[in-house]
Structure formats: C-alpha cells, structure tokens
A and B are shown apart, each in its own frame.
Chain A
Amino acid sequence: MAETLIGLEHIDLTFNPGTVNETVLFTDFNFKVDKGEFVSVVGSNGSGKTTMLNLICGTLSPEKGRVMLEGNDITKMPEYKRARRIGRVFQDPAKGTCPELTILENLALADNKGSLFGLSRGVNRSKLDYYKELVAQLHMHLEDKMDTKVGALSGGQRQALALVISTMTPIDLLILDEHTAALDPQSSETVMELTLDVIEKKKLTALMVTHNLRYAVEYGTRLVMMHDGAAVIDSYGKDKSAYRIEDLLKTFNEISIECGN
C-alpha cells in the first residue's frame, strides 16, 4: 500500500457565495495522490482542475474540508509555506519566472530556495558553470544568455526555465497546470520531454493538468478526468495503460451531450 502524499478531504467550495454569480464548484470532493504517482488530469474548461491545484497549493482555501500533506492537516498553512515542498509551473509563462531579472539572477534565487535570503551576495558567480550546465540540458542555448533579462525570452524558453526553476531544489510534489498550453507544437514537445525527464530523474510525484489527451494517455501512471467539480474517470495501473485517446474522447463527448452543449 503506497503512502498518501497529498489529500483533499470532503472539500466544499463555492465562488461568490450569496451573489448572483454564485458558482458551487466542489461539494464533498475527495482526491488523493500517492507518493511516486504521476497523475495526468484532463477535463473541460471550468471543470475545476486549476481550482483543485489552487486548493492543494494554498492559493485558495476550502469552505469545508481539509487539505492533508503526509497525514498532516495543512488547510491553514499559507501558500508560500507549502511552496517549500511543492513546485509549480503555471499555464502562463510569465508566472514562473521574474521578467525583470536575468536568467542568472532567476536561477540564483531559485537555487537558494529553502535557505535564508539574507545579506550575502545575491548571485554567486562561482556557481555560474553549474547554472549553465542546468540550462544547457534544455538545448535552447540559454547558457549563452545568462545575463539576458528573462522578459526577453520566448514563451517556450521561459516555460522551460520555469520548469528548471521549480525543480532545482528538492520538492515532494511537482504541479503542472497546462504548462505546455501556451507553446507552439514543437516547444510544447520539448518542454514535455524535459518534464518527463525531470520527473523520472528526480523521482518526483507529479500532478499534471493538460488538454492534450495524447499526453494524458501516453504519460503518467494515473489518469483522471474532471467534470463539474468531480473526478468522473480515475484509472491507474493496467486500466490506465489500456486507455486510448478515442476512449477519452468518447467520455468527453458523452459528458458534453449530457450537459446539453
């Protein structure tokens, strides 16, 4: 029996309660991720995928229910504290890096995650070679642009860098929210390969939201489909390996027809 890493227990969440815009998203929602799992999450727009990640990361708090990390209740723990153990890459490439800082400065900050941000030198030039090596693995020639502001990089380059940054120091859980969605097909492939690579190398537990059904079917040890704040498919092991894109599409369409769109 694998150990549970993160768990959402009996979660209730309503947006804008008591107003005309009231949206009941989760009622008694339960979800857990075991250590070592690589979960791919699919689902239509508005099905609650990002919100689920926000609950795990602490960007949002549930009205009812608990968020558990390794058996400890972290419902009240602020987002920044949870981030010490959780790495996250967002759909928006602007979120995972600092555009006004250089690649080197971004990496130096990320390298220091978990330590004191005190009054010692911000950028340790003696680690330059190590940083260059890290970004050289991306094959995007970023190692020649260490003093370039990240804001001047393309979305794909920034996203690849964000991936390096979020996995630079030890973490327990990697969260990816449609992190290839804003990229062209080729960059998307590259970043996806890098993702698989880092998950494998660092033996990370990962939770990946994607709209790419092929990624969801091909990659990961578990497949989840969300709809209307519930997991309508949750398959792992052999069951998961047997899944094909067509099966997923079928379920997808069935749900959509049920809902009348």
Chain B
Amino acid sequence: MNIFLGLAETVLKEGLIYGVMAMGVYITYKILNFPDLSVDGTFPLGACAAAACISRGMDPWLACLVAILAGALAGCITGLLHVKLGITDLLSGILVMTAMWSVNLIITGGSAILQFFNKPTIFTSGPVKLLPPALYSHRQILLIFILALAVRLLLAWYLSTKNGLLLRAAGNNEQYVTGLGKDPGVLKIIGLSLGNACTAFAGCILAQMNENADINSGKGMVVMALASVIIGLAVFRKLSFVHFVTMAVLGSVIYKACLMAALQLGLPNSYLKLLMAVLLTAAIVSERFGKGGKANG
C-alpha cells in the first residue's frame, strides 16, 4: 500500500509539472491551432535558465521568473518566424527547437547536465519553510499542486479577458480579428509566448525538484504535451463545469499514470518513448472518431 501511495504521489507530481506545460500547449495547439514544436527546446530552456541562475546564487523564485521570461521570449521568436517571415508553423517550431539546443548548452556552460545540489530551491527555501513539520515531507507535491493551480487560475482568467477572448477568436477565424481592426499575427505571437512561458516554467519546476537541469529533458515534450491535452479533453469534454485548461492538466496526470502503470507492469525503460508515440497516436485517432461520431449523430 505504501508503495502504491508513493507511486501515486510520483505520478501526481510529474503529472502536475508536465501539466503546467500541457496547459500552455492547450493554448497554442487547441486555441490557436498551432502545433508548436518549440516546446521540445523551451522545456529544457526553463530548466537550464533556472539552474544557471540558482547555481550563481540567485533567489529560486526570481530564477522561476527568469525561466518564464526566457520561455516567453523563445515562443515570441517562434511566432515572429511564422507571422513576420511567413515560415510554416511546424518549421518555425523546429527552427526554435534546434536553436534552443545551442542556447541551452551555452547557458549550462557546455555541459549536458547542470547540477546545483544543496543550493536553495523553491522546495527547500522560502514559503515551504512555513509548513508544519507533519506536512514538510509532502512539501514537493503541495507546492507543485499550488503552482499548477496558480497557472490554471491565471490562464483561465486571461482567457476570460478581452485580450483572451480576442486570442480565442484569432485561433478560430483570423478574418474576424482583422475585421475588428486587430492584427491576428500579434495574437498568435502572444499565444505562443504564453504557451512557451508555461513550458519553460514546467522545466524550471522539474529542475528545482531534481536539483539539476538536463538539456536532454526536452526530448518528447511535444508528444507528451499534445497527448495530455487530447486525452484530457477527450475524458472530460462532457463535463461542462470543468474548464478546458483544467482538462489539459488532468490529461497530463492521466497520461503519466498510464506511463507509470506500463513501467510497473514490466515495460523496459527503453520502450518508453515508443509507448509515448503510440499513446499520442491512439489519442489522436480516438479524438477523430469521437468527432466523426458527433458529426454523424
């Protein structure tokens, strides 16, 4: 039973961390219809930026802010490549993802893994110190939950503002936004910045939990984020009281649970990425079937 609880906590922790990314990808993929491949590069970007800051003695919360801004900037570049230079959405993402590999290496000073053991992180300093001793051992899951909740509230709030509404319109019908006297390209750039800011934040949280940043940690993030979003929407679609952003983060938890279950059932580690690809394929196919059924019925 204890083993099970431990596993459940790991699933929740990872599910929520990657869920922060999934919430961002919900904005680019679902709202803007933009399959953004740059997240493979901006996830480790957030991790590396935070690690570089913290290992130089910066306050870990400030390091989060740096990571978020770095992600937003990278997303902004993806958007500019697409909107201003007319490069296709997929290729814009690939360009930024590729460039991020070097950027991340430059940030870490050339090493694939940047460690910062024993430096203060958001999990060891600041507000978590105020936790009662009984809860302190669960501080990771508590803090991750609060951070994910904060991102969820912020994004849902943004989407309900005038600007957020316009962003939704831009993904839906660019001509409509143009008709309102606004440049739909600018909204795409805003959306991509938001999506990658969330992704980098997720990378930053993971790095602080592990006390190291791994520039390889971005491999498969696109696949994971898309699968989370699609699964979340498929599972919770019928529940109208659940916000779409919440569906994305919950999808990530379900996704992580699936991976964990497969590993526990004896799937060798080397099969993991294969399983991830299969899961995304299954999610996309089932999504299409779901839609087809609706259209016919």
* A residues apposed to B, CB below 8 Å: 78-81, 83-84, 87-88, 90, 94-101, 105, 108-110, 112-114, 116-123, 165-166
Residue contact A122 to B178, C-beta cutoff 8 Å:
no
Chain B residues bordering chain A, tally (CB within 8 A): 23
Number of residue pairs A-B, CB distance < 8 angstroms: 83
Residue contact B180 to A98, C-beta cutoff 8 Å:
no
How far apart are the CA atoms of A78 and B177 in the complex, in Å?
Answer: 13
How far apart are the CA atoms of A87 and B176 in the complex, in Å?
Answer: 11
Interface string of B154-188 (1 = CB under 8 A from A): 00001011111110110111011111111110000
Residues of chain B from 233 to 250 with CB closer than 8 A to chain A in the complex:
none
Contact (A101, B181) CB under 8 Å given A95-B173, A95-B175, A95-B176? no
Residue contact A79 to B162, C-beta cutoff 8 Å:
no
DSSP majority for the A interface? Answer: loop
Report, nearest first, the 3 A-B pairs whose CB atoms are least far apart.
A122-B165, A84-B181, A100-B172
How far apart are the CA atoms of A83 and B181 in the complex, in Å?
Answer: 5
Nearest chain-B residue to A110 (Cβ)? B180
Nearest chain-A residue to B184 (Cβ)? A80
Nearest chain-B residue to A82 (Cβ)? B181
* B residues apposed to A, CB below 8 Å: 158, 160-166, 168-169, 171-173, 175-184
Contact partners of A98 in chain B: CB under 8 A: 168-169, 172-173, 176
How far apart are the CA atoms of A101 and B178 in the complex, in Å?
Answer: 16
Contact partners of A114 in chain B: CB under 8 A: 181
Partner of A121, one of B161, B176, B179: B161
16 examples of A-B residue contacts, CB within 8 angstroms = A80-B177, A80-B183, A94-B173, A96-B175, A98-B169, A100-B172, A105-B168, A110-B180, A112-B162, A112-B180, A113-B180, A117-B162, A117-B165, A119-B158, A121-B162, A123-B165
Contact partners of B160 in chain A: CB under 8 A: 121-123
How far apart are the CA atoms of A83 and B162 in the complex, in Å?
Answer: 19
DSSP majority for the B interface? Answer: helix
Residue contact B172 to A117, C-beta cutoff 8 Å:
no
How far apart are the CA atoms of A96 and B169 in the complex, in Å?
Answer: 11
Residue contact A101 to B172, C-beta cutoff 8 Å:
yes
Q: Could you tell me the distance in whole angstroms from the C-beta of A201 to the nearest C-beta in chain B?
A: 20
Residue contact B168 to A100, C-beta cutoff 8 Å:
yes
Q: Could you tell me the distance in whole angstroms from the C-beta of A51 to the nearest C-beta in chain B?
A: 16
Partner of B173, one of A99, A110, A122, A123: A99
Residue contact B176 to A97, C-beta cutoff 8 Å:
yes
Nearest chain-B residue to A78 (Cβ)? B183
Nearest chain-B residue to A58 (Cβ)? B178
The residue in A90, A101, A108 that gathers the most chain B C-beta atoms within 10 A of its C-beta is: A101
Q: 6 other contacts beyond A98-B168, A108-B165, with CB at 8 A cut-off?
A: A78-B183, A95-B176, A100-B171, A109-B176, A113-B181, A118-B162
How far apart are the CA atoms of A123 and B163 in the complex, in Å?
Answer: 11
Q: Could you tell me the distance in whole angstroms from the C-beta of A55 to the nearest C-beta in chain B?
A: 15
Nearest chain-A residue to B178 (Cβ)? A80
Contact partners of A116 in chain B: CB under 8 A: 162
Q: Could you tell me the distance in whole angstroms from the C-beta of B272 to the nearest C-beta in chain A?
A: 35
Partner of A119, one of B163, B169, B177, B178: B163
Residue contact B182 to A80, C-beta cutoff 8 Å:
yes
Contact partners of A97 in chain B: CB under 8 A: 173, 176
Nearest chain-B residue to A90 (Cβ)? B175
Contact partners of B173 in chain A: CB under 8 A: 94-95, 97-99
The residue in B165, B169, B172 that gathers the most chain A C-beta atoms within 10 A of its C-beta is: B165
How far apart are the CA atoms of A230 and B172 in the complex, in Å?
Answer: 36
Contact partners of B184 in chain A: CB under 8 A: 80
Partner of A81, one of B163, B166, B181: B181
Contact partners of A94 in chain B: CB under 8 A: 173
Contact (A120, B176) CB under 8 Å given A80-B184, A109-B169, A113-B181? no
Residue contact B158 to A80, C-beta cutoff 8 Å:
no
